[in-house]
């Protein structure tokens, strides 16, 4: 038998991740020489309970049945989550948790390592990783969130450390809870939240968390341990039922998200919190570290050498960890923004909390606890048997039959601004597909305002006539579906090629001059430098918008959206990165808002009073010094005060060096904040791909409408198919008469007639 990869292994850090990695590596090859260094004593640890998911436990059972059996004897298990707010306790079941004390977990892992022959060196500082790497085949750096190994070799690992806005402390109480408990205390200093769960037959972990400013206002930054326990206990006296809170090396801290561009260098690899962290509100960092250890041990068995094993370990684990980190970030930010969510009906609040990470969804929660979801739907006024996405929504004089919007998508298929048969088929097909509202692509208000030569317009009589043909088809052949027009001007991002010929790349010839708030090119040295508009020129463009709005009304559109996002002309006025003006239209946010609001007023005056008007904005530029989420609330509120019926909340595409935090429904937190803080209906957009996502967002109150783009390119009948898959046949999703024979999924495969 050949020697295993990594015959001599050094492990830095004696937390659960390092210990479990050492045990697994020794178990898989008994002749491995494994040495573990831990600078603390064996029983030195912080915190109290550790939570594991069923998925993690399944992996542990396969990896080391002996450790799993020892853990199973210690576990406390429960299925329920309690949400406590303003004296109301709501319980949701079917979740499934297992936990045990952190001290006991470490004891079990110590015993396993000693039984296998791992050399455990406590109260001993590990030699530097670089030194160990010269004499060991593999160095596992499991030295935690403050990893010295990562910091010393930061040029190789390229870490990003983000410190967040809440302070928290790990405590415990000698009371065994029977559920995971989220409790909200509204104090004179601000909101304090509690996360608590049982970890033994007689005790529960209690994590107390609050925004930094609340922590300081409450004087907790100046409290000693006794004072901290007393004040935290006073916030949650009913839960404690006269029992004191206990601490264990407990200290207030701010959560730090750790991300590394690389997890390994040479024969040194990061594991657990040294490589990545995920906020405790979605689970334990110990869970991720244990899963890392399982994956690393498996790859060292599978691969021919250490380098191949470390590459495979990172390639396999990174997508899983990044998905977890996205969910954790969503959860963390939800709690950071708890004041945004605290109002409203109790069951909707509870549903919002349970689905905050986007991992638990409407459909998933309905499987776990159908009674709970039914109660939330009743409270929200959702008729029995109706998915939330198929409830109607009213905007001014227009009632949409469901909450699905076909998002504006540039087709680059117009000729001299005139939409043709392609647009008729494209928009007509999606109208037949059942969405409540179908939006055109950005329709440009002048030839000079086009993005590309293939962009549609509404500045010539031929354009109005062509659009009238399309709206007539929608109204005649897809009754109940509304069609909206999005008006915009390309600004500095104009005079470029069709998307598939090179997005945002200048035309090889035939360019037209571009204009913007300031003379700043989109890409210096690539795109042309725009002409900074004068005030008289701005007045001309403002009238072009109004003229296009009147044409849109005559063409029969039901709704008009003003495009103030994605770095086009009006967006360019809003962002401080693209507006460097020194006149009345630049400088403060109020000044940067001035011209977009003037255009809005002109369009609203030209657009029929009974028809709704929305505005699309970029709620963040995803770039330092750009528009922030707080700015977006101000912008949305300003448009709402001028008569906007809803705000379509997108993000980015303003500057080329943006760094978006992509992920499932990643833009919806911005819509959620605007909806609650600006008090205006919102359209959520961005990586919303499933009907389950739509139901979740609507029922949680994070959005009023959901706009989907690519799903409607994949399936023009996405909405009708969503209804069929949910067994819904009501007024929110009516199949066109010629298509009714296809309203049920056709049989396929074995057994089909």
Residues annotated as part of the active site: 568
Kindly list the distances between the CA atom of residue 518 and the CA atoms of 314, 534, 574, 659, in Å, as whole numbers in the listed order: 45, 10, 11, 23
The three-class DSSP label of residue 558 is coil
Closest CA to 703 of 652, 663, 667: 667
> How far is 78 from 678, CA to CA, in rounded Å?
39
Cβ contacts of residue 164 below 8 Å, gap of 6+? 254, 255, 256, 257, 279, 332, 336
Give per-residue burial for 624-656: e unless 16+ CB within 10 Å, then b. Answer: eebbebebbbbbbbbbbebbbbbbbbbbbbbbe
Residue 96 CB neighbour total at 10 angstroms? 12
Does residue 708 contact residue 406 with C-beta atoms inside 8 Å?
A: yes
User: How far are the Cα atoms of 411, 413, 427, 485, 566 from residue 498, in angstroms, in the given order?
Assistant: 9, 9, 20, 21, 17
Structure-block tokens of residue 363: 């459909």
CA-to-CA separations, 325 to 150, 574, 706, in angstroms, rounded: 19, 31, 24
Contact status, residue 160 vs residue 150, Cβ threshold 8 Å = no
- Cα distances from 675 to residues 355, 634, 640, 679, in angstroms, run 17, 12, 11, 5
Q: How many residues does the chain have?
A: 753
Cβ neighbors of 317 (< 8 A, separation 6 or more) are 263, 291, 292, 295
Residue 125 DSSP one-character state: P
E-state strands within 534-574: 559-564
What is the number of other CB atoms lying within 10 angstroms of the CB of residue 501?
13
């Amino acid at each position: 038998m050949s020697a295993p990869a990594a015959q001599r292994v050094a492990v830095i850090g004696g937390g659960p991740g390092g210990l479990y990695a050492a045990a697994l590596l020794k178990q898989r090859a008994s002749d491995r020489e494994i040495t573990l260094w831990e600078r603390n004593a064996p029983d030195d640890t912080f915190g109290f309970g550790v939570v594991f998911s069923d998925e993690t436990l399944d992996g542990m059972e396969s990896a080391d049945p002996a450790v799993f059996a020892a853990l199973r004897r210690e576990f406390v298990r429960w299925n329920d989550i309690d949400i406590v707010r303003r004296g109301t306790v709501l319980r949701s079941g079917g979740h499934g948790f297992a936990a045990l004390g952190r001290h006991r977990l470490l004891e079990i892992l110590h015993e396993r390592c000693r039984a296998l022959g791992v050399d455990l060196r406590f109260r001993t500082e590990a030699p530097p990783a670089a030194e160990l790497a010269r004499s060991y085949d593999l160095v596992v750096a499991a030295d935690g969130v403050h990893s010295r190994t990562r910091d010393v070799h930061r040029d190789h690992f390229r870490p990003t450390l983000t410190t967040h806005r809440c302070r928290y402390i790990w405590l415990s109480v000698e009371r065994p809870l029977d559920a995971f408990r989220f409790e909200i205390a509204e104090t004179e200093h601000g909101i304090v939240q509690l996360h608590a769960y049982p970890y033994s037959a007689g005790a529960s972990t209690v994590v107390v968390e609050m925004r930094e400013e609340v922590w300081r206002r409450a004087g907790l930054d100046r409290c000693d341990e006794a004072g901290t326990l007393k004040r935290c206990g006073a916030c949650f006296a009913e839960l404690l039922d006269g029992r004191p809170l206990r601490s264990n090396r407990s200290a207030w801290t701010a959560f730090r998200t750790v991300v590394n561009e690389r997890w390994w260098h040479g024969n040194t690899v990061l594991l657990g919190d040294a490589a990545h962290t995920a906020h405790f509100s979605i689970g334990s960092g110990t869970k991720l570290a244990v899963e890392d250890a399982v994956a690393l041990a498996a790859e060292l068995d599978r691969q021919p050498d250490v380098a191949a094993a470390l590459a495979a370990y990172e390639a396999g684990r990174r997508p899983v960890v990044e998905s977890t980190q996205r969910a954790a970030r969503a959860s963390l930010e939800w709690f950071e923004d708890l004041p945004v969510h605290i109002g409203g009906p109790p069951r909707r609040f509870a549903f919002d909390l349970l689905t905050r990470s986007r991992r638990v969804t409407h459909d998933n929660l309905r499987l776990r606890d159908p009674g709970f979801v039914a109660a939330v739907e009743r409270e929200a006024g959702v008729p029995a048997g109706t998915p939330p996405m198929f409830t109607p929504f009213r905007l001014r004089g227009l009632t949409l039959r469901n909450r699905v919007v076909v998002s504006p998508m540039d087709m680059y298929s117009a000729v001299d601004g005139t939409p043709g048969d392609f647009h008729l088929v494209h928009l007509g097909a999606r109208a037949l597909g059942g969405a409540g509202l179908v939006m055109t692509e950005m329709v440009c208000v002048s030839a000079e305002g086009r993005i590309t030569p293939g962009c549609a317009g509404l500045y010539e009589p031929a354009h109005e006539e062509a659009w009238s043909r399309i709206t007539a088809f929608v109204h005649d052949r897809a009754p109940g579906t509304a069609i909206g027009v999005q008006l915009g001007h390309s600004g500095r991002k104009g005079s470029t090629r069709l998307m598939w010929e090179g997005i945002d790349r200048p035309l090889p010839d035939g360019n037209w001059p571009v204009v913007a708030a300031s003379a700043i090119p989109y890409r210096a040295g690539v795109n042309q430098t725009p002409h900074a508009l004068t005030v008289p020129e701005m007045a001309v463009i403002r009238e072009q918008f109004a003229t296009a709005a009147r044409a849109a009304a005559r063409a029969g559109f039901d709704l008009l959206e003003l495009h103030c996002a994605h770095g086009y002309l009006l967006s360019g006025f809003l962002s401080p990165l693209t507006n460097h003006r020194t006149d009345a239209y630049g400088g403060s946010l109020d000044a940067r808002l001035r011209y977009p609001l003037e255009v809005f007023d002109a369009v609203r005056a030209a657009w029929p009073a009974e028809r709704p008007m929305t505005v699309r904005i970029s709620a963040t530029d995803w770039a330092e010094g750009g528009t922030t989420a707080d700015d977006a609330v101000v912008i949305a509120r300003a448009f709402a005060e001028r008569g906007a019926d809803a705000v379509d909340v997108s993000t980015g595409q303003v500057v080329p060096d943006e760094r978006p935090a992509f992920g499932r429904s990643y833009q919806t937190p911005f819509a959620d904040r605007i909806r609650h803080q600006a008090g205006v209906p919102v359209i959520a957009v961005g990586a919303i791909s499933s009907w389950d996502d739509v139901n979740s967002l609507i029922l949680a109150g994070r959005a009023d409408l959901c706009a989907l783009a690519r799903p409607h390119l994949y399936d023009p009948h996405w909405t009708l198919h969503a209804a069929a898959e949910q067994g819904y046949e009501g007024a929110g999703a009516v199949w066109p008469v010629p298509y009714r024979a296809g309203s049920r999924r056709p049989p396929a495969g074995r057994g089909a007639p």
